Structure 1
């Protein structure tokens, strides 16, 4: 009991500031994420999970020419021996290594459903099988020859490599992506032949400039192909800084159907774009008529990609059609480059192309030296045994006699012939078959060959130039295996120039048709074909009713003016049809719940409008200043908006809730783009009720409740300066204080 901690919390608790406690723990988590999860090593281009998968498959002897094993078995071994994380995460990482549309040079050879370019997930690990690919063999060549350091696994029962020997620059060949804490990486795949050419040039010219290396590596080479539309200067700058972006487009061609008909066929789509989602987006563009020149899209893909795009008319220019689609769909993407990698497995750094290649070459030199030293130790051990064999052959009869008659032949031979313990053990373990006559000749030949190999290795270790020459030879061997001479080594992503095509006037392509736009009291909007009577009976949802109605055309931009003083723009051709009840307006624009729609009208160039607030402030705004480009609209009037009126006539007439009416000249109103405006009429109590434009010579007209029109021809009594209080409205003026 005396060894137990006392129950007093004060004696068992250590205090420290919360900021320091949180900071230390979060820093530990951040370092773990950066070092052991998200960033690849510059030397072999792998994250720990990928490295452990490949090593575990090697331990299972899943060679490229051997049998396949269940993915569940591989995932289990990786999780149990090296990577104590979720099996789903490990399997997902392994499946990606086998996807030829994700990896430029797949590291795993998969058998079964490992997903597809449509975005479908791989089958469960119990259904699929895998083995190592040829590229993985090259990454792990020399692993058993002390070429890299090993460290204990998570529970200390096994060891795992810190980094792979990596016979080729896998970081650039296959790329990498990851998000750590406070930093991220995103490296595209490249053509291995070009990357090795750059390595060979850097070996020959250690001070080579980044621009020269960028000239050898033309740009990324994505497994899904596509066309890279980026200037050589931009690519070189991106490689020089380690940050930038590449513009990648789908590859397409025009297919002639005869009789003047044609269609566009997309044969390659950008990297990491899911084909199914791309087609959904194109279908949505057709449905919403955002690209009116596109009539239909079909997916005719089998093993290859074949997306058919049909134009609405054969007079359409295919270049303009594709230019429009590039702007609004993932047929063109920007792939961001962020070459943030771990240098020597420890230091995260955003590297240039030259720094990444240098890190790989320095690693290859270290691997070469360590393998050479390992081989020298093996040669020394073998030469020691061969010398003992040769001594035994020269004194064969005496050796046999010692073995037959001496009680301790080992010590006798060591004393009589000057042999070492290793040599005597080898002689005693020799089989009788080895005593044949030709064996001595073979032993001498083997000794001579080993001596020559030892001299060659020692000479190489003493000469740095010879080391780089050997590395260059090894890289050339890898280039012969995976370079352009192989079918898979040909460049897939074309390098092209971005030809700027004149944008299509989309409005000109919209078929002009009359519409009647109806906005219900609860904010549901729809567009019915034709110009129907604005007061015609229309069905609404239960509890809903008529709100606003407006005649328009499909080519119009519909303006929505709300009580928050903002204008919103909606293309009339994108409005939902009139067969149903429509759609909520608030799903189409960012209209706050507390804001109400005041007016709805088609935009007309050159028009001018009076906008006024409830407080009685207002100004004139031109049509060009109310057009909104985004869903959030455009703020024009500051304050709670009351009304909007198109400018006409030569005077403005206003009336307040106090029934006082004022007439003042139109030119006293300023024209502004945005603001609170100026005072229209002065009120002691109440707010502005209505405003209108009149021609002073024609007087003021209003409609009485019975439908009869009344006119006040002489407005001298109410004529005054803007911001005056006005006088009581004429007899018979509507009780609701509206000009109708």
Structure 2
């Protein structure tokens, strides 16, 4: 064995590091950076760092709501140069989104130029567009100059940026947020600010209020693009309680009559976050692929407002059925997820509910109020100190002027003679001569009294929790008045409604174009569908030595039922059967048929009818055909079997009242249909008893009409009811020799109803 590896003695500054530990440390640092400084919003102001930096840069550029616009490139340059050392494209994209009224419920940026549209078109380059702040952004920044929030050094330590904004606006819930971090994500839809203010006011008076109680005020999301939320109140309440869930949002539509019985559907609002151009493109693709059989055409007639026109295939189409089918297949209905994963206190990522989100904002507003009040109090105390010195000086102006003219160090002498502070002495020395008049003294006394009263109010405010919450209540009511439901921006755009009852609509049939077909099944279990109702199948070819087993006409909207020898029934969609150009596909590839079982028969399902299911050992029972339809590939185990018996026949009951059962031993028995029980599944009851042989055929007929069958020459033979006396008995009998000419079952039609 060689010597173990030893690092070289001369390291040249190289340090050995464990790879696993190094990767863990670096990945953790990356994950924390992504979570804290990129992807998750702060619960207090609802902003991510990039948005906060954009607004801060715009504030320093004095882009207030009433000021002139400036180029977006100027803002982007300041942001990436001072605060956000990332690409300009990312910053401009964030700025653009803040200005899009179809993306932001309450835009923070007032844009001038091409900022994109609801179709999904890109905005113009940043050198062409201009921007300034909106009134909502001004509310978020209100108090920045009054020590309302903390600042921290920027990335290179040469500038300072705010840790959080004062946020006099409930931005987290009002505008929502989307983000993907490392191992976690956030998704908060926008809400109506008037409802949020009402909930916050209730929370101030009831600090222990739950999220369920607050849903009395916050009904649900309020998207900038409108739409209809169709979730139940219980599911919405649960989502707000846990902070996790989702909302189903549908497009708003109306039926527009064109006269003479014709009509179209006009979509006026589409779900939030869905580009209109992509929505129409996808609908056109589905229309071309014939997956929207009820729709004839889709047109975009939008101008300033959304107007998407949907033309039905015919005037007889039910508009509700048309729209319900489109909601299922297109983005006219989408799901907006709720995952309120935010930075609580700016440091801890956590999923919170509605009540805690509003409580975080209210607590932040209280801290901001306290800090602004202390800042104002400090300013007042400084000014009162100065005013106190000036008022002292006015009592002996001549002495003051003498000291200033004659003393080498007038400040020190003034401080000694009048017992002034350094601040007061400096203020006296800075006073202009023209201010030394009687009127000015009166103004100073009036200002002193006013500031003294304001100081007392601020002292009382900082010493009383009730006064603080009253001040916050007043601020919130002001926001609610500005953005109330009677204002254009504050009016609720998304409504909450119950979807129409569609329990009686078969959408699998409604969403398939109805066309006649002929289903063909071969002896080896290959199935296909020919277009149209084909009576002559002589030209149909089969693979190898395969031959025809079953064929029947139906439509593309039908369900095809397959009975296997082991008693299972499988369901196929007629519209999904392979075409008639080839040999078709094996049924075994479409369903999970057990090994060793064979196909007994195949038929088209008829809703509402009843069927008689039989086995080779002469047992059977009546069952509703609707109960045989299966929704999975595994099918339904309907018939119970005792080996070696197998499933053998399916007969439609129709209006018959008697059953004629005939065995392979040519013995036949006739008995009332009422003696066979109706069951959903099971082994059934004995129809005919055999010493040797098996059940060959079953016919259900009306005794008054007699038993009828076609003979080998194509003529119809009938045995009248009174002539059937020797065969009539009860079920389970061995029977009597069948009438002359009574046929054996045709193998090509065996078992099919």
Tell me if both proteins adopt one fold, taking TM over 0.5 as the criterion. Answer: yes
Counterpart for residue 327 of structure 1: 328
1:56 CA displacement? 0.9
Q: Size of the alignment, in residue pairs? A: 603
- Secondary structure of the residue aligned to 1:136 is helix
Given that 1:63 and 1:131 are in contact with CA atoms closer than 8 Å, whether structure 2 keeps it comes out as: yes
1:187 CA displacement? 0.8
1:293 CA displacement? 1.5
- Secondary structure of the residue aligned to 2:435 is helix
Counterpart for residue 247 of structure 1: 248
Counterpart for residue 37 of structure 1: 38
- Secondary structure of the residue aligned to 1:215 is coil
Given that 2:517 and 2:530 are in contact with CA atoms closer than 8 Å, whether structure 1 keeps it comes out as: no
Rate the CA distance shift 1:529–1:75 in 2: closer, same or farther, 3 A.
farther
Alignment of 1:334-413 (within 5 A): 334-413=335-414
TM-score under structure 2 length normalisation: 0.71
1:514 CA displacement? 5.2
1:536 CA displacement? 9.0
Rate the CA distance shift 1:290–1:89 in 2: closer, same or farther, 3 A.
same
Structure 2 distance, partners of 1:248, 1:516, is 40
Structure 1 distance, partners of 2:108, 2:612, is 65
Range 398-407 or range 331-340, more displaced? 398-407
Structure 2 distance, partners of 1:104, 1:34, is 25
Given that 1:324 and 1:504 are in contact with CA atoms closer than 8 Å, whether structure 2 keeps it comes out as: no
Given that 1:555 and 1:573 are in contact with CA atoms closer than 8 Å, whether structure 2 keeps it comes out as: no
1:526 CA displacement? 12
Counterpart for residue 728 of structure 1: none
Structure 2 distance, partners of 1:529, 1:152, is 77
Rate the CA distance shift 1:10–1:399 in 2: closer, same or farther, 3 A.
closer
Counterpart for residue 512 of structure 1: 515
1:241 CA displacement? 1.2
1:512 CA displacement? 2.5
Given that 2:179 and 2:187 are in contact with CA atoms closer than 8 Å, whether structure 1 keeps it comes out as: yes
Structure 1 distance, partners of 2:92, 2:276, is 23
Alignment of 1:80-91 (within 5 A): 80-91=81-92
Given that 2:245 and 2:339 are in contact with CA atoms closer than 8 Å, whether structure 1 keeps it comes out as: yes
Structure 2 distance, partners of 1:277, 1:297, is 13
Q: 1:493-552: per-residue Cα shift (whole Å, max 9, x none)?
A: 1111223224544536734245899xxxxxxx9987896999999xxxxxxxxx999998
Rate the CA distance shift 1:568–1:125 in 2: closer, same or farther, 3 A.
farther
Q: Does 1:24 align with 2:25?
A: yes
Rate the CA distance shift 1:210–1:454 in 2: closer, same or farther, 3 A.
same
Counterpart for residue 221 of structure 1: 222
Structure 2 distance, partners of 1:481, 1:624, is 59
Given that 1:386 and 1:443 are in contact with CA atoms closer than 8 Å, whether structure 2 keeps it comes out as: yes
Structure 2 distance, partners of 1:123, 1:626, is 60
1:394 CA displacement? 2.1
1:321 CA displacement? 1.6
Structure 1 distance, partners of 2:167, 2:395, is 46
Range 198-207 or range 383-392, more displaced? 383-392
Rate the CA distance shift 1:239–1:391 in 2: closer, same or farther, 3 A.
same
Given that 1:515 and 1:554 are in contact with CA atoms closer than 8 Å, whether structure 2 keeps it comes out as: no
Q: CA RMSD in A?
A: 4.3
Given that 2:517 and 2:529 are in contact with CA atoms closer than 8 Å, whether structure 1 keeps it comes out as: no
Rate the CA distance shift 1:551–1:50 in 2: closer, same or farther, 3 A.
farther
Counterpart for residue 415 of structure 1: 416
Q: 1:447-490: per-residue Cα shift (whole Å, max 9, x none)?
A: 11110000000001111111111111111111122222422101
Structure 2 distance, partners of 1:121, 1:53, is 20
- Secondary structure of the residue aligned to 1:337 is strand
Rate the CA distance shift 1:159–1:533 in 2: closer, same or farther, 3 A.
farther
Alignment of 1:537-686 (within 5 A): 554-555=556-557, 572=575, 604-605=604-605
Counterpart for residue 126 of structure 2: 125
Given that 2:282 and 2:330 are in contact with CA atoms closer than 8 Å, whether structure 1 keeps it comes out as: yes
Q: 1:551-597: per-residue Cα shift (whole Å, max 9, x none)?
A: 9865567999xxxxxx9967648989x9xx99x99xxx999xxxxxx
1:21 CA displacement? 2.6
Structure 2 distance, partners of 1:370, 1:485, is 34
Structure 1 distance, partners of 2:349, 2:547, is 61
Structure 1 unmatched runs, 5+: 1-5, 518-524, 538-546, 561-566, 592-598, 609-622, 637-646, 650-663, 666-694, 696-740
Counterpart for residue 462 of structure 2: 461
Given that 1:44 and 1:163 are in contact with CA atoms closer than 8 Å, whether structure 2 keeps it comes out as: yes
Structure 2 distance, partners of 1:177, 1:316, is 40
Structure 2 distance, partners of 1:571, 1:381, is 88
Structure 1 distance, partners of 2:630, 2:24, is 46
Alignment of 1:311-322 (within 5 A): 311-322=312-323
Structure 2 distance, partners of 1:535, 1:61, is 87
Range 495-504 or range 368-377, more displaced? 495-504
Structure 1 distance, partners of 2:529, 2:278, is 28
Structure 2 distance, partners of 1:349, 1:625, is 48
Alignment of 1:246-265 (within 5 A): 246-265=247-266
- Secondary structure of the residue aligned to 2:46 is coil
Structure 1 distance, partners of 2:171, 2:234, is 25
Counterpart for residue 676 of structure 1: none
Match of 2:15 among 8, 13, 28: 13
- Secondary structure of the residue aligned to 1:24 is helix
Given that 2:96 and 2:115 are in contact with CA atoms closer than 8 Å, whether structure 1 keeps it comes out as: yes
Counterpart for residue 74 of structure 2: 73
Counterpart for residue 564 of structure 1: none
Structure 2 distance, partners of 1:254, 1:569, is 35
Given that 1:323 and 1:503 are in contact with CA atoms closer than 8 Å, whether structure 2 keeps it comes out as: no
1:375 CA displacement? 0.6
Q: Does 1:433 align with 2:434?
A: yes
Q: 1:225-278: per-residue Cα shift (whole Å, max 9, x none)?
A: 111112222211111111111121111111121222221111111111111121
Given that 2:188 and 2:338 are in contact with CA atoms closer than 8 Å, whether structure 1 keeps it comes out as: yes
Structure 2 distance, partners of 1:276, 1:534, is 48
Structure 2 distance, partners of 1:79, 1:152, is 15
Structure 1 distance, partners of 2:575, 2:314, is 22
Given that 1:516 and 1:528 are in contact with CA atoms closer than 8 Å, whether structure 2 keeps it comes out as: no
Structure 1 distance, partners of 2:547, 2:37, is 61
Given that 1:289 and 1:574 are in contact with CA atoms closer than 8 Å, whether structure 2 keeps it comes out as: no
Structure 2 distance, partners of 1:475, 1:548, is 81
Given that 2:298 and 2:311 are in contact with CA atoms closer than 8 Å, whether structure 1 keeps it comes out as: yes
Alignment of 1:264-279 (within 5 A): 264-279=265-280
Structure 2 distance, partners of 1:259, 1:211, is 50
Given that 2:516 and 2:531 are in contact with CA atoms closer than 8 Å, whether structure 1 keeps it comes out as: no
Counterpart for residue 97 of structure 1: 98
- Secondary structure of the residue aligned to 1:489 is coil
Structure 2 unmatched runs, 5+: 1-7, 521-527, 541-545, 563-569, 592-598, 606-610, 614-624, 637-646, 650-663, 666-695, 697-753
